[in-house]
Every structure is written in structure tokens, then in C-alpha cells.
Structure 1
Amino acid sequence: MSALSQSVGDFIARTRYEDLSPAAVDMTKRCLLDAIGVSLGASGLGEGCRAFIDLALEQGGRAQCAILGEQRQAPPEAAAFANGALAHALDYEDSHDGALIHPNAPVVPAALAIAEAFAPVSGRDLITAVAIGCDVGVRMALSLRVSLAEFGWYPPPILAAFGATAAAARLLHLDTRQTVDALSLLQCQSTCSGEIIHSPHSLVRAVRDAFAARAGVTSALLAHRGVTGFDAPLEGRAGFFACYARNQYDPQALTAELGRRFEIENISFKPWPSCRGTHAAIEAALHGVRLHRIRPQQIDRVVIHGGRMLSMLAEPIDSKRRPSTAIDAKFSLPFTVATALVHGRVGLQSFLPGALTDAEVLRLAARIEVRSDAPHPTAIGAVLELHLHDSTTTRIEVDRPRGGPGNPLSDEDLIEKFIECAGHAARPLDAASARRFVDTLLNLEQLERVDDLMTLLH
């Protein structure tokens, strides 16, 4: 094995619950709560998810693992596939603002599937696996000196798939060699074309993490059965970094303080169900409504200034001003900001079919311009200019939107979010049942069997 792949494999195989800081443990439990909640909501509201759930159930096999929002169960690969489709469908899951990925979207479905299929798995083991998986995905992203998008890839599910594999490998107690095998086998399965951002009518952007979650589980299970991989899946001459990033990466960013500092401590939770890149502008718009008392009838036009990352949320401008799918609306600065200015809120109901044809929102969205001309301390920061009919202009700047480490959601915010999402599940969870689940999950380290937690959703 080569040094870099072995270092990552060692970290995944050898890290224990006792190695986690109290902050990492607490954040991992919050990530699990948030991920399960938004997935439950997607089982009832998510576009395109039903096909993945039906396919998972139709394939048969041992009914071992929960499909969120469903009464029936499926084998681990199929459950990870279905739950992975749910993970991002509402675009409401956690994110890492520095890495610009959703590291836990495939990690949690993969970890839950293995935890149930190979029961008994303790709450401490699940916490450890998810913290490791999150760390691997984020570090892979932070190590890149160039975006994979430069070469035609869509980075989030590709990078987070390494985390899903790591979490599954840790729960299966793979040794270092087997873990490197699993990371090798992942690269035979997981990819995502950058064409995903150029096809506004496609639903693939919503369900993309189905493929990453299933690939993570399959890779770990095959390595567990003795299938060998490559010596250097990461840094080899045809390894991941060579193939996907033309070797433009920093190995130190991947390994610095590995096992001592966990990136899960830096996760952001979303207060609004849309792309994290829209949040600074949404927050600025809500400030305009609530603090400056600006009404949509006063607005002549709106200009949003931001960095390069925000350009994908405004192109092509015609479809972004009149999105035809919920997931495209969630990736639209004109639509989300117009919604915030017109209704004074952005929530799950803002992306239902009727909301996409809201005449007042569409009229204002048509007058919103996005300019990638203002770099900020964070890639997702934005400046909102509200040009009013009386020739005055209100300028509002937000660099670090609500939900991040510097301005976090409270536990009660996350609990209320979970209860709301669970109430929209295909099989809705009442508030009392949701509270019981929350109470159990927030004490997950005391639980001997993770499958006992999952039965609370049935």
C-alpha cells in the first residue's frame, strides 16, 4: 500500500469512540437527527424518490433495514439506495461551508443500513462511523486545489461517497488493508456528471446520493468478503486524484491532525430547504422584509452580488427565474430570494407544485439579477441590493448565513425542524412519537442496539 491511502485506511480502521471529542459526539448526533428528519420529509414530498423506493423493495432479499417513511424493509444495499435518494431530495440536509459538499447525505443512509443488517451495533459505534465518514468526505474535498467541476464532474456525491464507504467499512470492522480495498472498489462504481447542473428539468440532482450511498455499502461488503482492490486508490498514477483532479491536490490537507480533529464539528444545518449557496441572499432578503419593512410592491429591481460559486444558481437565467421542478427552484437565487421578499419566509411549502407558479413570486424573480463580481470571506456570502421605485437603494450584506458554526441553529431549532419534516413523511410521525425518537437519538451513546432506535419510526 502507498502512504496516503494507508494513512486514510488506518484512520478509518483504527479510530474509536474514545478518540472523538465531546463536540464531535454532540455534532454527530445532531447530524443523524437532521439527516433522518429531512429524509422522512422527502419520503412524502421529494420529487423522484418513489421510483428508488419501489425499485429497492421490488428487488427482494432479506428484509433487514428500514426505508425511511416506509413500513417495509430491504437488504442493506437496497435500503441505502432508497434512503440515499431521500437524503438530498428536499435540499434541506446539512452541509460543510468550507468544503462546499453535503458530506452526510450518503454517509447516514450507508451507516444506518450496515448498522441494522449487522446488528447488534451500538449507538457509540454508529456515532464513530458517521464522524469518520463525514471527516473523510470533507477532507477529500478540502484537499483539492481545483474543483472537480473544472473537468466535467459534479463534486458533492463523488466526494461524499468516500465518506459513505468509510462509515460502512468502520461498522464492518474492516482492517486497514480491507478498508483500502473498499476505497478502491468505490471507484469502480461511483461518479456523477457535471451535466447535472445544465439540465434544469432533470430530477437527478435531487436523488443523486442514492448512487453514492449504495456504492459505499457495496464496496465495504465486497471488501468484507475478501475482494481485493488497488494499492494506491487515492494517490496512484491512475488513482482518484489523478483521474478526477489531474493530481492537483494537497495531501497534507487530507491527513493533517487526522484522528485528532474532526470536521463534523464544522457542519452547518440549514434553516431553509434550498441550496446552501442561496442562504446568504435569503437571509438578506428576510432582513429587508423584517428589519427594513420593505414590501415587494416597493421594489423596482434586485441585484445580488457574490462570488463565482453563486453563478450556478443563476444560470441559465430564464429557467432560474421560472423553475419547473422543486429541485431547480431550490438551486435558484431569483426564485428563492423572490419567495423570501414576497412571503417573508422560505419553507417546505415554498417548493410545492402550486408555489412554482406563484404569479407574484415569478414577477419579482424576473427582475432579479445575479452578478458574480463580489468575493466574500466565505464562498457562499452575498450582497443584496434592493432598488426601490422611489430611487432609493437598500444594501444588505451577509457573509456567513445562519446555521453555520459561527451562527448555529439551536437544539430546539433542530428538534422543531425534525418534527415538521417527520410530519410530512409518507407515513407521518405525530409530534409525540417524533419527540420520543428525538429523546432517544440525542442519548444515542447510551443505546446498545441501533435497531431499537429505528423501530421508533415504525
Structure 2
Amino acid sequence: MTETLSDLLCRHIATARWESLPDHARDGARSVALDAIGVMHAASGLAPEAAPFIALARANGAGPCSIIGTPHRVQPLGAALANGALAHAVDYEDAFDRAPAHPNASLVPVLLALAQSEGPVDGRRFLTALAVGGDVACRIALSLRQPMEQGGWYPPPIVAAFGAVAGAANLLGLSPQQTKDALSLTLCQVTMPGEIKHSRRTTLRAVREAFPAQAALTAALLAREGVPGFEEPLEGKSAFFALYAGRQFDPADLTDRLGTHYWGSELTFKPWPSCRGTHPFIEMALDLSARHGIRQSSIECVEVSVDAIQSMLVEPLARKQAPETAIDAKFSVPFTTALALVRGAVRLDDFDAASLTDPEVLAMAARVQATVEHRPEWQPGVGGAMRIVTDDGESHHAWLENALGCPARPLSPAAQRAKFIDCVGRAAVPVMPEAASRLADAILGLDTLADVGALFQPTE
């Protein structure tokens, strides 16, 4: 029989090993682990939206798996749910600028749950699964030729689920057929409606990765138990690409350099805890203010130019100028720009209840006006332009092709480490700087560890 697209991808997922990973994939996986673990720690102390997910995980019984940043140990599915809720809650995790994907926000919680319930799992096995799963999520996102939003879907958590189950299948040692079954079982569970972007009341956008993480782990474990799936879970008549993209996809993006190039080496690590699309405007506001000595009180208006992808960050404008929830504020160009201009920084602490009602920040956000346009020199969704007009008639301009943190302008290793130490210090159970530095060293050296799960075991 002719090998199908699903066959080809699943054979790769099932057979990838540390020895076959190129150096860029190994390095990328280490960086992902450091960033993701840090961000989950921060959310455990700063994101009340995740509390119900933690409570539900605990209610289902004690177990071997840690809820990161807390003293709690729970069953694997509960850990995937709770840590998945933490992974995106402060919107500080890595991103893939080329396509709509946060490839590791579901994946890392799943692999941690498996490392602590199926252990001991050594670091090379863990990092291999991390590289494989992240790459699969990126490839699926790149292959789409019809935006998932056209069908009313919200793509990042859906795409992430398939990367998460791919990583789980690799770590568990599933066969190619079992891996295909696992993808099928994920397809039976994963969903995320676009309404998550439009509702003013909900905080689901913050904790969205809880659902794909739990679904992916469930799928992988059921596939191991022999539950049969579909012959073509990706390209079948009514399978992934039919349901989510009207069958409009390019298989070449799934297979190009498969096994030799891993997209996880080309991720963005965020310098600011907000939607990636807000970052060019934060960067330009900070830069213009510093270079021209612009006083906050002298600013009459701020004009920003966004592209079609970023329009969700400025519309409806009145709501984005005065967001009611932390996650809506993180998805607001006016609010994050105002933070940069008023406070001179955008930090984890800047999205609390006091910040959402800060009269200076809100007054500045009200001065931000937006236009939607397309400029070919911008990287879609992560570029932009800004003009600040002051009361003396001066006008200051800036534009960015791509914001800081991208592969072309990456955070330095020192900056990534500083971010990690800051994040873990804000956990529900804070990690002090000296211990945080040791933990960072251990994560960056995961390939030398015999038991990854033991590294994250809390003390009751």
C-alpha cells in the first residue's frame, strides 16, 4: 500500500531519537524547557484564573505529578489540566511567529505529567519528545492554506494539541500505528471556538491550554491501550484539514526536511508578558520615549498601524482602551502601549486589578488610535508602525519589521535566564534566586539527567 501523509508523519514521530536530533533541535528544546517551566511557576502565583483547574486536579486525588510552582501532587490527567492552565495564563510563553502557534504550551505540561508518572524518564528522552512535538505543531500551523478562523475556530490551542500528542507518543514509545491512533483520538476531543476572542467576560483565553493538554494525554494513553483510530487522521475525507481548513493545506509543509530541520529552533521567546502582537508597539513606545525624552504628560496622541492579524488587539477600540480582565489587557495594543509610556516597562505585575483601573494608564490608553493596513516589509502579526504626537507640535515616528525576541533578534542567554529567575520567584511557592539559578542550570543540562520528573517534585 502507498504510504499516506499520516503514515509518514507518524513513522517520524515514533522513530525519532536523541541520537538523530541535529544540534539546533537539541538547543531549541533546552531553551523551550527553561522558558516554559519558568512561565508556569509565575502563573501559579499570579493567575487566579487557574485556581479552579488546580482545585479540580486536586479533587481527583493525590498522585505522582507536580502542579508546577505549588506543593500539590496529583494524578497525571489532573496535572496536564492544571499545568496546561498555567502554561498560557500570564501570556509569557514562547511563540512561533511564522504561523498561528504556541507549540509548547500544551506539550510541556503533557511531557511533565508523563515524566513523573511513567518514570524514570531521562533528559534525552524528554528533550527528544519536546523537539518532536513542537516541530509537529509548527508544521501543521505552517501547512494551513485556509485560516482556521474562517470556520469560526481559534487555532493556537487546536494546533498545540496535535504537537502535544505527538510528543507524548514519542516519549511513550508508541508504534507508528499507535501514534496515528493517538492523533485520531485527539481529533475526537480538541476544539476551541473563536468566540474566545470576542467575549468580554470570559477568562478562558488565559487558561485555554488546559483543554488540549488533557486531551492529548488522554489520547496518547488510550492509544497505548489499543483504542483504534482512523486511517488518515490528518488528510482524511472528514479529518483534521477538512474540519479546520476546508481541506486547504500544503502537505509539503508537513514533510519538508522532516527529521533534519526542527522548527522549535526558530521560536520567539517573549521579553514582555503579553500577546506577541502587542510587542512591536511596546518596543517602539519604550524606544521613542527613551530616545526623545518624551514626557508622559506631553503626549497628545499615539497613532499605531497594525495589520489584519493584529486588528483583534485594537478592536473594538473602546474595550481595548479599558480592558476589564488581565488577559484582555494582554491582548490590547492601547493598554500595553500605555503601560510602556506611563511606567517605562511592561512587567508581570502590570496586569493586576490595580493596573486595570490605574487612571494614568487608562488616560494614556484612551489617547491611542489605530489604523489597519498592510505593509509587505512587516512580518505578519509581529510588526507595526507608531507615531507619537506631543503638545509642542513634535511628531516622533518608528516602525518595526519584527519585534524583539524573534529568531533574527533573539533574547540573549543572560536575558532568558533572568526571565526564568524572575518568573520562578513569583510562584505560589517562590524559588529564591540562588536555588533558581541552580534549577536553571539543571534544566539547561537536562540531557545529563537520569530522571527529569524528580527535578520538579515539590516538597509538601
Q: Normalised by the size of structure 1, how large is the TM-score?
A: 0.98
Q: Residue 116 of structure 2 contacts residue 454 of structure 2 at CA under 8 Å; is this kept in 1?
A: no
Q: In structure 2, what is the Cα distance between the partners aligned to 1:19 and 1:302?
A: 51
User: 1:68 matched to which residue of 2?
Assistant: 68
Mapped pair 1:5 → 2:21: no
Q: CA deviation at 1:318?
A: 1.2
For residues 177-216 of structure 1, the aligned pairs below 5 Å read 177-216=177-216
Q: Structure 2 stretches of 5 or more lacking a match?
A: none
Q: Residue 157 of structure 1 contacts residue 209 of structure 1 at CA under 8 Å; is this kept in 2?
A: yes
Q: In structure 2, what is the Cα distance between the partners aligned to 1:159 and 1:220?
A: 16
Q: In structure 2, what is the Cα distance between the partners aligned to 1:201 and 1:287?
A: 33
Aligned-residue sequence identity (percent) comes to: 47
User: 2:228 matched to which residue of 1?
Assistant: 228
Q: Residue 148 of structure 1 contacts residue 155 of structure 1 at CA under 8 Å; is this kept in 2?
A: yes
For residues 158-169 of structure 1, the aligned pairs below 5 Å read 158-169=158-169
1:152-195 Cα offsets, whole Å, 9 max, x none, are 00000000100110111111100100000000000111100000
Q: In structure 2, what is the Cα distance between the partners aligned to 1:457 and 1:404?
A: 36
| Structure 1, 203-212 or 406-415: larger mean CA deviation | 406-415
For residues 411-430 of structure 1, the aligned pairs below 5 Å read 411-430=413-432
User: 1:403 matched to which residue of 2?
Assistant: 405
| Structure 1, 226-235 or 367-376: larger mean CA deviation | 367-376
User: 1:149 matched to which residue of 2?
Assistant: 149
User: 1:57 matched to which residue of 2?
Assistant: 58
SS in 1 for 2:457: helix
| Structure 1, 391-400 or 274-283: larger mean CA deviation | 391-400
1:202-247 Cα offsets, whole Å, 9 max, x none, are 1100000000111110000000000000000000000100111101
Mapped pair 1:39 → 2:40: yes
Q: CA deviation at 1:457?
A: 7.6
Mapped pair 1:29 → 2:26: no
User: 2:284 matched to which residue of 1?
Assistant: 284
Q: In structure 1, what is the Cα distance between the partners aligned to 2:459 and 2:267?
A: 25
Q: In structure 1, what is the Cα distance between the partners aligned to 2:347 and 2:94?
A: 16
Measured on the aligned residues, the alpha-carbon RMSD in Å equals 1.2
Q: Normalised by the size of structure 2, how large is the TM-score?
A: 0.97
Q: Residue 278 of structure 1 contacts residue 336 of structure 1 at CA under 8 Å; is this kept in 2?
A: yes
For 1:33, the aligned partner's letter is: L
Structure 1 consecutive aligned stretches of length 4 or more whose deviation exceeds 6 Å:
none
| Structure 1, 336-345 or 382-391: larger mean CA deviation | 382-391
Q: Residue 38 of structure 1 contacts residue 421 of structure 1 at CA under 8 Å; is this kept in 2?
A: yes
Q: Residue 158 of structure 2 contacts residue 212 of structure 2 at CA under 8 Å; is this kept in 1?
A: yes
Change in Cα spacing, 1:457 to 1:144, as seen in structure 2 (3 Å) is farther
Mapped pair 1:87 → 2:70: no
Q: CA deviation at 1:389?
A: 1.7
Q: Residue 323 of structure 1 contacts residue 356 of structure 1 at CA under 8 Å; is this kept in 2?
A: yes
Q: In structure 2, what is the Cα distance between the partners aligned to 1:387 and 1:114?
A: 54
Q: Residue 47 of structure 1 contacts residue 206 of structure 1 at CA under 8 Å; is this kept in 2?
A: no
Q: CA deviation at 1:8?
A: 1.0
User: 2:21 matched to which residue of 1?
Assistant: 20
Q: In structure 2, what is the Cα distance between the partners aligned to 1:186 and 1:457?
A: 33
For residues 257-272 of structure 1, the aligned pairs below 5 Å read 257-272=257-272
Q: In structure 1, what is the Cα distance between the partners aligned to 2:409 and 2:56?
A: 40
Q: When the two structures are aligned, how many residues end up with a matched partner?
A: 457
Q: Structure 1 stretches of 5 or more lacking a match?
A: none
Q: Residue 47 of structure 1 contacts residue 203 of structure 1 at CA under 8 Å; is this kept in 2?
A: no
SS in 1 for 2:121: coil
Q: CA deviation at 1:307?
A: 1.2
